[in-house]
Amino acid sequence: MNTINSAPASWLRTYAFIRFGVSAAWVAAALLLAPFNPAIAAVLLVIYPAWDAAANFVDAQRNGGLSHNPSHLLNIIVSVITAIAVIVALGQGMAAVIVVFGVWAILSGLLQLVTAVRRWASGGQWAMVLSGAQSALAGGFFVFSAGTMPNPGITLIAGYAAFGAVYFLVTAVWLSFKRARPAGALRGS
């Protein structure tokens, strides 16, 4: 009765729900706490790419290891470098942080596209393709407009993270729905 009942597909659904939950909590903290406390904002800005690196590592390990998931490995490296670059950029000001996030969004978006295409048969990856493309485009916007924004802040990044959270939720729900459907009931995943 179910087309996606393998351990990797079940993990992918769980992973997407976890990524949604963590992203939603990060967005809430960024919008509700960070504007009133620069230290909290700084910690959140460093945690975001660090969490992405950790999540990609766990996902790669659950799917054959880093040697079988080169896009994950590259994403981990890019995310760790980004977390370090954010620490450095915080000393330069928020415009520099926005540029760092922009470069990261471009690179991680492209890597997410690669991973989504590779996992296309698992289903629900159309949302991750859209997310990767949106991430790369948003990153370009961040890079090119960081210097012209009057008061760039964490709320800009929170908006970006909120879109990412929604894409993870859509993927998780899609995989849950597909898992419960009879074989052949869903097309075009």
The DSSP string of 99-168 is HHHHHHHHHHHHHHHHHHHHTGGGS-HHHHHHHHHHHHHHHHHHHHHTTT-SS--HHHHHHHHHHHHHHH
Q: What is the pLDDT of residue 159?
A: 94
Residue 95 is part of which domain span?
Answer: 7-180
| pLDDT at residue number 44 | 99
b/e for 19-57, b at 16 or more Cβ within 10 A?
Answer: bbebbbebbebbeeebeeeeebbbebbbbbbbbbbebbb
The reply to whether 12 falls in a domain is yes
Residue 106: per-residue pLDDT: 97
Residue at 151 is within a domain:
yes
Q: How high is the pLDDT of residue 69? A: 87
Cα distance between residue 111 and residue 107, in whole Å: 6
**What is the average pLDDT value for the chain, to the nearest integer?**
87
The amino acid occupying position 126 is W
Closest listed residue to residue 88, CA positions, set 75, 73, 107, 103: 103
Residue 36: partners with Cβ closer than 8 Å, 6 or more residues away: none
Distance CA 60, CA 39 (A): 32
Does any domain span residue 113? Answer: yes
Helix (H, G, I), strand (E, B) or coil at 17: helix
Radius of gyration of the chain (CA): 17
Percent of the chain whose pLDDT exceeds 90? 62
pLDDT tens per residue, range 84-130:
999 999 999 999 999 999 999 999 999 888 888 876 766 656 777 88
Cβ contact 2:181 at 8 Å: yes
Q: Is residue 139 part of a domain?
A: yes
Is residue 41 assigned to a domain? Answer: yes
| 19 part of a folded domain | yes
Residue 52 in domain:
yes
Residue 186 falls within a domain, yes or no?
Answer: no
Quickly state the pLDDT bin for 171 (edges 50, 70, 90): confident
Q: Which distant-in-sequence residues (6+ apart) come within 8 Å of 38 by Cβ?
A: none
Number of structural domains, the chain?
A: 1
